[in-house]
């Protein structure tokens, strides 16, 4: 049956050309001076130096990380109870609710983000509703809050679905056992349900945090160019300024930071689930 | 106490659903607005739809989006399925390395994949446009197809193809008549993921096309700098389109299974 293994050969070539080579190119561009051809180039660390010595860039990096952390925290706090509610519903209701959450994800993220502009703009319904609560004429669009809202809106479905899956997979007899052994509802939740659903929370966090750090159209549309994140800087370097080498260096920095974050999150998860035996 | 909790959960659930659907409903309503305002509904009209159908750039972007999505889905489903079958029969080490590389476009931030491909096209002087967009879409779609086909292959008996060939099937027949039908559900869900990924893609398309060719997302992005209700109109069209596709996807298997049941009855 070895003959069938030849079927993968074309894709191996494709992977080298279209996945591996582009990654190497980013690395090469980030380490060379601009204006190079493929045949001759000069190595330099100047792009990395430029990034780490400029307080403006560092501020943008810090801002991207903090807003991603805020987004993730809000998604966990709001997403967990919703996922819990879905998981505790009857099968039929659960299917309907999961479908209701998945449906909007089929519609273009950009389009859904754009729709918020009308809702949040001056005189829009969000201001009208807030007006009822005595918060008249609050500036909503083009603030950190609107960017945060856009991110939570786009990424919270991933969190809900991940937590819901892990809650549904849980063995229900564990809850009965816990109750039989004298634990009350709160204790059962804290000692049994929550720890067991933690793997869902962790994969939800990676699905929210990573795209949030690198997102650039949400801050652009809802931040109105006032609220620059690292993704915007990269876009700027490539599309407007044309400094591909510096842009590549920023991308490398971002990719490395993300890898470190992912690794840390995974380690914490393994630690909590008792020594990382998920591999087996 | 328990009931109270359910009520809190219910309220939160309803609010969450409202939160998800509010912008979509809002967009649909204001696509029928008479004036340009995004905040005041002044009257019902088809103004923006007329403008949309007269706007050649927009119609072309819709055409580009659909063409790229259809071709990318077809190619990536075919290549992905074949490669997944090939990889399942490859040696362990090759399989492991390939699956790691295959994960790259999924795990990497989209913007990094986008920049990598952009640099690739620039470095080798490939003119950026429709073809580069298509190539990029195929590149990020195949991994999803492989990921959804692989588990189905793993659940098959590894001797299935051998058995078919022992019984006189050619390798081609063993592949198309035995293996592929068995893993069909995986192939279909892979194709669906590929289609939506391609249809919705903005970041990668934005970087790998050089201004000339635009898909829907790029169009919305470049137009959103000014208030432009035609975006609402075209978005509403997309919502309708996606809904139709979803209905077809959900209804066709239903009809099929019903028909199969009928056939079974006839046979019995």
CATH number of the domain encompassing residue A62: 1.10.3720.10
Residue B264 pLDDT > 90, yes or no? no
Determine phi and psi for A43, rounding to 5 degrees: -80, 145
| pLDDT tens column, B76-90 | 999 999 999 999 988
Name the band, by pLDDT with cuts 50, 70 and 90, for residue B68. very high
Can you give the pLDDT at residue A275? 43
Low-confidence ranges of chain A (pLDDT < 50): 275-280
Does residue B245 fall inside a structural domain? Answer: yes
**Distance, CA of B34 to chain centre:** 33
The model's pTM is 0.86
Contact B64, B132 (CB under 8 A): no
**Distance, CA of B79 to chain centre:** 16
Give the SS3 label for residue A189: helix
Residue A159 CB coordination number (10 Å): 28
| pLDDT tens column, B204-254 | 999 999 777 899 889 888 887 777 888 888 888 888 888 888 788 777 777
Domain that holds residue B117: 50-258
Burial of A1 from C-beta contacts in 10 A (0-12 / 13-18 / 19+): middle
Name the band, by pLDDT with cuts 50, 70 and 90, for residue B3. low
Can you give the pLDDT at residue B4? 61
Residues 47-86 of A with CB under 8 A from B: 78, 81-82, 84-86
Give the SS3 label for residue B33: strand
Does residue B145 fall inside a structural domain? Answer: yes
Does residue A163 fall inside a structural domain? Answer: yes
Does residue B6 fall inside a structural domain? Answer: no
Contact B82, A7 (CB under 8 A): yes
Which of B1, B161, B242 faces A107 most closely, judged by CB atoms? B242
Residues in chain A: 280
ipTM: 0.85
From chain A, pick out residues whose CB is under 8 angstroms from the CB of B40.
Answer: 123
Give the SS3 label for residue B232: helix
Tokens standing for residue B12:
């939160």
Does residue A34 fall inside a structural domain? Answer: no
Can you give the pLDDT at residue A2? 59
From chain B, pick out residues whose CB is under 8 angstroms from the CB of A112.
Answer: 23-24
Q: What is the number of structural domains in chain A? A: 1
Domain that holds residue A165: 46-267
Q: Choosing among B6, B21, B33, B39, which should be mutated to test the A contact, i.e. which has the most A CBs within 10 A?
A: B39
Is residue A2 less than 8 Å (CB to CB) from chain B? yes
Contact B138, B72 (CB under 8 A): yes
Does residue B67 fall inside a structural domain? Answer: yes
| CA angle centred on A159, ends B153 and A280, rounded to 5° | 40
Smallest CA–CA distance from A155 into chain B, residue:
B20
Does residue A7 fall inside a structural domain? Answer: no
How far apart CA A63 and CA B85 sit, in angstroms, is 45
Does residue A174 fall inside a structural domain? Answer: yes
Does residue B179 fall inside a structural domain? Answer: yes
Does residue A22 fall inside a structural domain? Answer: no
How far apart CA B77 and CA B70 sit, in angstroms, is 11
Sign of CA dihedral A175, A180, A181, A186: positive
Give the SS3 label for residue B43: coil
Can you give the pLDDT at residue A108? 82
Asked if A9's CB is within 8 angstroms of B86's CB, the reply is yes
User: A246: part of which helix (H) or strand (E)?
Assistant: helix A244-272
| pLDDT tens column, A153-189 | 999 999 999 999 999 988 888 888 888 888 888 888 8
Q: What is the number of structural domains in chain B? A: 1
Tokens standing for residue A174:
């564990």
- Whose structure tokens read 């807030």? A130
**Count of H helices and E strands in chain A?**
14, 0
Q: Which of A256, A15, A263 is nearest to B101 (CA)?
A: A15
CATH number of the domain encompassing residue B215: 1.10.3720.10
Does residue B193 fall inside a structural domain? Answer: yes
**Distance, CA of B193 to chain centre:** 4
Tokens standing for residue A62:
């810090």
How far apart CA B112 and CA B118 sit, in angstroms, is 10
């Amino acid at each position: 049956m070895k003959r069938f293994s030849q079927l993968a050969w074309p894709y191996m070539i494709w992977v080298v050309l279209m996945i591996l080579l582009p990654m190497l190119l980013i690395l090469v561009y980030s380490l060379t001076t601009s204006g190079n051809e493929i045949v001759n180039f000069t190595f330099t660390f100047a792009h990395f130096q430029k990034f780490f010595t400029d307080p403006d860039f560092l501020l943008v990096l810090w801002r991207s990380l903090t807003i991603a952390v805020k987004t993730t925290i809000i998604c966990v706090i709001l997403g967990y109870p919703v996922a819990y509610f879905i998981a505790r519903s009857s099968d039929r209701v659960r299917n309907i609710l999961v479908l209701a959450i998945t449906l909007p994800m089929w519609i273009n993220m950009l389009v859904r983000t754009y729709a918020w502009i009308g809702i949040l703009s001056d005189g829009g319904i969000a201001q009208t509703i807030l007006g009822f609560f005595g918060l008249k004429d609050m500036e909503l669009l083009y603030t950190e809050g609107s960017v945060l809202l856009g991110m939570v809106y786009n990424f919270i479905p991933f969190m809900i679905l991940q937590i819901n899956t892990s809650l549904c997979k849980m063995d229900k007899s564990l809850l009965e056992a816990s109750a039989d052994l004298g634990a009350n509802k709160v204790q059962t939740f804290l000692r049994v349900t929550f720890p067991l659903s933690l793997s869902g929370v962790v994969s939800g966090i990676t699905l929210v945090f990573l795209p949030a750090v690198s997102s650039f159209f949400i801050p652009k549309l809802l931040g109105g160019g006032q609220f620059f994140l690292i993704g915007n800087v990269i876009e700027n370097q490539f599309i407007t300024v044309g400094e591909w080498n510096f842009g590549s260096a920023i991308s490398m920095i971002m990719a490395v930071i993300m890898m470190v974050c992912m690794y840390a999150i995974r380690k914490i998860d393994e630690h909590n689930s008792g020594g990382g035996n998920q591999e087996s | 106490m328990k009931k109270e909790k359910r009520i809190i959960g219910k309220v939160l659930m309803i609010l969450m659903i409202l939160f998800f659907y509010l912008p979509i409903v809002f967009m649909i309503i204001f696509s029928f607005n008479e004036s340009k305002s995004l905040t005041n509904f002044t009257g019902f009209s088809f103004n923006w739809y007329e403008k949309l159908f007269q706007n050649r750039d927009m119609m072309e972007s819709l055409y580009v989006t659909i063409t790229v999505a259809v071709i990318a889905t077809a190619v990536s489903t075919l290549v992905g399925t074949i490669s997944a079958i090939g990889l399942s029969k490859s040696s362990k080490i090759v399989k492991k390395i390939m699956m790691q590389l295959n994960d790259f476009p999924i795990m990497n931030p989209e913007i990094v994949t986008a920049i990598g491909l952009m640099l690739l096209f620039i470095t080798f002087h490939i003119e950026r446009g429709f073809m580069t967009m298509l190539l990029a879409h195929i590149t990020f779609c195949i991994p999803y197809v492989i990921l959804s086909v692989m588990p189905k292959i793993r659940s098959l008996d590894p001797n299935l193809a051998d058995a078919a060939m022992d019984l006189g099937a050619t390798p081609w027949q063993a592949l198309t008549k035995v293996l592929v039908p068995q893993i069909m559900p995986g192939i279909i869900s892979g194709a669906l993921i590929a289609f939506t990924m391609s249809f919705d893609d903005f970041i990668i398309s934005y970087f790998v096309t050089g201004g000339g060719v635009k898909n829907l997302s790029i169009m919305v992005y470049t137009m959103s700098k000014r208030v432009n209700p035609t975006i609402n109109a075209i978005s509403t069209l997309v919502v309708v389109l996606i809904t139709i596709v979803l209905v077809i996807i959900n209804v066709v298997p239903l009809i099929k299974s019903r028909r199969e049941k009928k056939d079974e009855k006839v046979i019995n």
